[in-house]
Structures are given as structure tokens and as C-alpha cells.
Chains A and B, each alone.
Chain A
Amino acid sequence: MTAAAGLAPAAAVRAAPGGARLAVLLAGRAEAIRLLRNPLVLLGAVASAALVGWNSWGTVPKWWVWDVQLGSSLLVLAATTLLACQLAAARVRRDGATALYESYPLSATTRAAAHLIGLAGPLLLAVVVEGAAVAWLDFLGPVGSPRLGVLAQGLLLVVLGGALGTALGGALPNPAAAVFTIVVLGVIEWDLLNPFGVQVAVAPGTAWFFPWTQPVLSGFLPGPIAAIPPAAHLAWLAALSGVAACAGLCLASWRTGRLAGAGVGSRPVAVALAACVAAGGWSGWTLGHPPTASVTAGLAYTITHPAQTEQCQTQQGVRYCAYPGFGADVARWAAVVNGVLGLLPAPPAARLTVRQVVDGAVFQTATGEFDPAAQGQPGQTLKLPKEVGRFVAAEGTDPALIPGSSSPPVYVDLDWSAGGTVGRYQLGLAEQTAWWVAGLPTTQRIVYDTTPEGTDLLSSSCVPVGQAREAIAIWLSASATPGTRAAFLAGEAELARLGVAFVPLRTTAGWVAGQGGAFIAGYQASLQATAQGGALADAMLRLPRQRVEAALATDWPGWLRAAATDQQLAAALRIPLPPAPAVDKSMIDPRQPVQPVCR
């Protein structure tokens, strides 16, 4: 409806210098305003913003994850822009008004160019959405800084959607064409973005051609993945947008030529198309080649040599070592650690070191090797050396893996929450800290159980059967902060509801009931506790804190010895010792290794 936009008559337009250009700009401005006010585009912008808010709520964002995820969120706006642009470009043919518009001074090519200029409307909206998202994420206290090249890719996705819609509208006026295009692209993107989605295997190195993906592993790494150079992918998206725009112009030009009986083609468009193809070829070649081992060597070294790459700082006698960029997390960790240490009658004899590591539980497969494809994310282009897999697998088994760490080690991973689940993260760190205080192991030994069916990995460590320090450690971890207490009690209730509150543990003292686990988040340490110790800790949590602290202060070093029993602790607290829950014989696994009692 460019004619209805108050454009100047043809004669006036052509009489003025640069009149044709002015006409395109005026028509483009009108189309931009129309697209900006289009309900579909506005809904897409709202949905994109809502996706950002939904996914970031209660998290501590990492910028090397979120600059990509902003692009993923803008895919919704890109889809609605595609549909709106297709409807706009096909407007004349859909209304059966081609002959009428041919009588107007603006040719079909000019109108197609105006539609492309009109993409400035959705682009402006995308800039607003992305700007607001960046401000919001910055407010959440993120780690690292955003890469401008990646942020620009998100904006180009919207342009690409619009250019594709314009070209599609020039070729097929039926709105179903745009709807089905969105469905096809949406299913592909769903497969690429959701590791548990359609699960069609995409060959490594080709995922970025489609044109967007998000490596799920990047959230578990201490820095951006060097797999995809932002400049190459930016060029790829620009080339795709350019090709789609040129296709739209060529279609319109071809139609104009066919109707007027004249030749078709335009030298500037041909030159632009050639440039886009060249840029697409270069960027496609770059994207199609996974990074070599030398490119990922830096990241691998960062993971396997945390002692050399991390920055350490000491707060209230505790040493915190974090990867560069994670310094803001130290205050979050310190609140938990100080909560545990503040409950002690006397400061610990040794110095505690809290160290950040890449969580091995995320990557390791049955054989302990690093295999991103096994994580259900097709199209991963990240190939790290096997040493990385062996290293992260050893975090849970080798207490002396990283020089300069505590013994037993206290680890945190790269994740932390700022929302409702923060208690689970706090409880995970508090438990390790309390286990360190009590001198209990935070790692386990791997036992290989080979049967005719195959080899299973079983874990084994000492179990503090009947030892007072176990109940004390559980009480310390649950009492560290209000969040740890809530998470501890909620976890117990949830495990009881699921019927897995207790599991059988095979020890040198016989079968005993062990705690079914804890609802923790973050680093998953290998901690074991008996059900009776947990029951005694529950009883301690119900007592006034001063009473427990007073009882512990009577002989603090003595309580930390293996000889101090639950019975003695209950007597000191003047409460009856809760009975040890019976072992559920139906859950006994005879292959379970015999674990020693902690000494």
C-alpha cells in the first residue's frame, strides 16, 4: 500500500534529483512503520523478551552463553517478521491488484526495495529487545562480558527472517508458504537448540548453517568456545540475508520485465549477489571446519590446570580460587562457607581452599572419556582432548588431583543461582565444607565390576558408621544459611515422598541404611552418610542452636575424632538417640563393594 502512504506523484518524484531514491526511501519508511506496528511482529518481540526473562530468572548468567542465547530468543521475532514480511510483500498479488499497481509510478522492483528498507522497523524492535535484555542480564550480575559480534548475529537473524519473507512473498503469495517455511525452520532449530528434542543427528560442523544453534556444553565451560568465530558466522548470516534480498529484488524485476515485455536484471543487484555468494563461501568454509586441537588447547589447559589459571583471594582465612571472570561468585561462596565455619566452637586447624572446577559429572561417560555427542547435543563441533575427560572424571576420585587444594578437596563448579534454587547450590557447598571440617572424604574410589554382561563402575569410600562427626557435619551444612536449612528439609521430604529416603550400604560393619542423597545443585561431590547420622542431625536441627553449640564446645576436637559416637553426642545433647532405620533388603545389590568404616 505504498500508494496509500501519501507518496508524491510520479512526475514530481522523477522531476526531483534523486527522485527514485526518495520514492524508495519514502515507501520504505511507510513499510517500516507498518511492520513496526504489525501485531505479529510486536507479539514476536514480546515473546522473545519473555523467553529471555523466563530463562534467566534466578540465574547468574555467563555472557559467553547468554550472548548466544539472546540470538536463540530472537528467533521468535525473526519467525514473526518472516510471516509479516511475506504478507506485506505478497499483498498486491494476494489482493489481485497487480494490474492496478502496475499503473502506479512505483515499479514492482521499487516496491520490493521498499519492503527491504522496511525491515528497519523489526530491526529497530530487535535492537530495543536486545538492548533491554542486555541491561536485564547486566543487572543480574553476569560473568564475563558480551561479544558484540555475537549480539549482532541475533539482530541479523531478524533481518534474515524479514528478507526471507520478502523473497517468499514475491514468489508465493499464499500465506501458507510462510507458515510452512517457519514450521520447517522451526523444527530444524528445535532439533539443534534442544538436546532432548527431535534428536535427528546433524553432522558436526554443519549445525551453524541452519542458521543458528547453541552449544549446550558452553554453559559448563570456563570461557567461550572457540569453535565458531563470531565474524565468520556474522558474515554467513549477512550473506544469507543478502542472497534472500537479492532474490526478492530479482523476482520483482523479473515480474516487471515479464509484464512490460522488457528485459530483466540489474547490475547492482548482480554485483551484490556475487558479493553475498563470495562472503557466504568464505564464511561457510570457515564454519564447516571444526577447530583444530591447537585452537581448543587453551580451553583444555584452563580446565586441566585450574591451579595455574585461577585467581585466588583470601577472605576471613579461607582461600577462594575462581576462574577469571568469576570473582563476583566468591562473595556468594563465602556467605555459605562462613556460615559453616561460624558455627564451629574453634577455628579449623588447617586452611580451607574452595576451588572452582569444571564439573566432571556433566561430561564423563561410562568410560570416563569426554564425549559431547553423548550428551544428546547433535552438531557439536567442540572436540577437546581426552586428557580433559580423564581429568574431570578424576575430580570425584582423586583427592590430590589439583595441587594447592584442601584435603579433602572442596569444589564448586561454574553454576550458581540467584533465585529460588539458591538453597540447593548453598547446600552442596555447605556439605563439602562440613565434611572437610569433620575430616570425612569428599571423593570416592572407583571400583570396576566386570561381569559377562560388561563392566560397571561402582563407587566406594569409607562410611562413618555410628560416628558423631557425621551427624555434626550434616547439622553444620543444614544450619549454614536459611537457604541450606530449607533445601535440606525439602530434600528429605522429597526423598521420603519418592520412597528412596534410605539406601543400603555394604560396609565392613555389615549392611547399614544410608541416606538416599540430598537435593543439591552445582558441583556434585561424592558424599556418603548413614541414615542414623541423618536422623540425629534432624533431631539436632529441632533443638535450639545455642544448646547444640554448647554441647559441641565441651570437647570440640574430641567430637571430630572417629571414636566419638552418635550415642555420646545424643547424651551430650540430652536427647534420645534416634534408632537406626532398618535396611530395605529388596534394595540390596549383592555386587556392591564392601566399604570400610572411616578411621
Chain B
Amino acid sequence: MPITARGARARVPRAALPHLAATMPWGTLFGGCAIGLAASVVAYRFAGPAPDAAGVSAALRAAFVPLALVAAFLAADPHRDLVAALPAPAWLAAATHTALALPVLAGTAALQLRLAAAELAIGQRYTSVPAHLPWPALLAELGAATAIALATASVVARTRWHELGGAIAAPVSLAVIAVAHVALAGFTGRLLLAGALALATAAWAQRDPWHRLRTAVFRQAWASERMAKA
């Protein structure tokens, strides 16, 4: 039964929150954050004798990868078919999962940035040339990479392979992130634009609760058309 009253609409997220929190991939989230943090700690602890800004940035980018890939598992909802029949909006699960994950991801990223700064400070002891990490560019890269992973997962979640959403979205996201990094490295504005486009794609993909397979739809339509002509 559709809910039309505004107050009732507002109650839906509140009522759904415990269930959405229960379906949240907490293990993946904390596992990814732990791996990312461990990578930063290893880079800090076992860095070369005089780490420079380029080396520290590269290590930080590598440590950001698990965080970005966590987003590839946020859009997957094992009960999507069931939720689609409920009055709650389709995007609620992915949006809530993302909202729950963001503080954890942001906190981990903040810790990683502090470790990177400490690592660079070690290298600065051996040189008189000042070096700085490109904070805006690094944060833009992390944001764009997370958005790309989320968008890819959202698109995969609409297909018949939604069960493997993260497993498909993660390598695809990695490839897209790698291409974006090569093409847009150093262009913070363009990276932010790519992230915004990815977020828009994720939102677009979440607008429809049902699984769609365009090729199958087209194939069916084509077959129907041929039958009609015959």
C-alpha cells in the first residue's frame, strides 16, 4: 500500500534503520579500513631512509585503495527483491549503508593522512628542501575513487548479477580508477567533477528498484517484433 502522508514517509527511514544497519556489510567495511590503515602503518614504519613527497603520496594512494573498494560492497542489498515490494524507496538501503560507512571511512582516511604527514616529516630531517603533500588532490582522488566504486556497484546491483555486485564492481572500479588516475592525475577540479558524475550515476542507478538486463530486454523486444512481422 503506498504511503502518501509526509509524516508517514519520514517514519519509514527511522523504522527501516535497524534493519538496514543489520544488513550493512560491517565486516567488509571494518576489514577494508583495517587493511588500509595497516598499509599506512607499514608504509610509515618501514619506509625507506628518506621518504619524499612523491613516495609518501604513492604509498597513501595505495593505502586508500581498500577504502575505495569498500564502497563497491555498500550498494549490494541481499534483500533487494523483497525491499522492492515494500513502500520504502529503493535507494534507501544504499543511501543508509553509505551514510553509515562514511564516518568510518572518513576517520580511517584522517588517520592515514596523519601517518603520511608523519612519514614525510621523517624524510624532511634529511633535506633542507621543503616538501608538502598535495592534500586537496589526494582527498579529491579518494572521494572520486569512492564515488566511482559506489556508482559501479549501483549499476551492477541493477543487473541479474547483483549477488556478485562487490566482486564485479571492485575490479571494474579498480580499472576505472586506474584510468582516471592516469588521465586526471594533478587535475583536482576534474577529479571532483568525475566524482560528482559518478555520484550522479549511482543515484540514477538507484532510482529503479527492479533488476534490469537491457540486453535481455532488447533481445525480447527484437524477438517480439520479428514474430509480429512474421
Could you tell me which A residues sit within 8 Å of B by CB distance? 40, 43, 80, 83, 87, 94-95, 174-180, 183-184, 187, 190-191, 196-202, 378
Contact = CB atoms under 8 A, between A and B. Distances in A.
Contacts of A43: 171
A197 B166 CA distance: 27
A187 B39 contact: yes
Chain A interface, >50% SS class: helix
A80 B174 CA distance: 12
Interface in B12-60: 25, 27-28, 31-32, 35, 39, 42-43, 46-49, 51, 54-55, 58-59
A580 B18 CA distance: 81
Nearest to B76: A175
Contacts of A187: 39, 62-63, 65
14 contacts: A80-B171, A175-B166, A175-B170, A176-B32, A178-B167, A179-B170, A179-B171, A183-B65, A183-B66, A184-B39, A196-B54, A196-B55, A196-B58, A198-B55
Contact of A180 (B32, B43, B63): B32
Q: Is the interface of B mostly helix, strand, loop or mixed?
A: helix
A43, A184, A200 pick with most chain B CB within 10 angstroms: A200
A198 B55 CA distance: 6
A185 to B, nearest CB: 11
Contact of B164 (A87, A180, A197, A201): A87
B69 A197 contact: no
Contact of A200 (B28, B43, B66, B72): B43
A83 B27 contact: no
A175 B55 contact: no
A198 B66 contact: no
Given A83-B171, A184-B35, A201 B65 contact: no
B156 to A, nearest CB: 12
Contacts of A198: 43, 55, 58-59, 62
A177 B73 CA distance: 11
A113 B113 CA distance: 45
Interface residues of B, number: 31
B166 A176 contact: yes
A180 B58 contact: no
Given A174-B27, A176-B73, A196-B55, 17 more contacts: A40-B171, A95-B163, A175-B164, A176-B27, A176-B166, A179-B72, A179-B166, A179-B170, A180-B66, A180-B69, A184-B35, A196-B54, A196-B58, A198-B55, A199-B48, A200-B48, A202-B46
Nearest to B32: A180
A205 to B, nearest CB: 15
Contacts of B69: 179-180, 183
A499 B58 CA distance: 30
Contacts of A95: 163
Nearest to A184: B35
Nearest to A199: B55
Nearest to A202: B46
Nearest to B168: A40
A176 B31 contact: yes
Contacts of B59: 198-200
A87 B167 CA distance: 8
A176 B25 contact: yes
Interface centre among B35, B54, B167 (most CB of A within 10 A): B167
A583 B162 CA distance: 68
A94 B47 CA distance: 39
Interface in B119-153: none
B35 A180 contact: yes
A200 B46 contact: yes
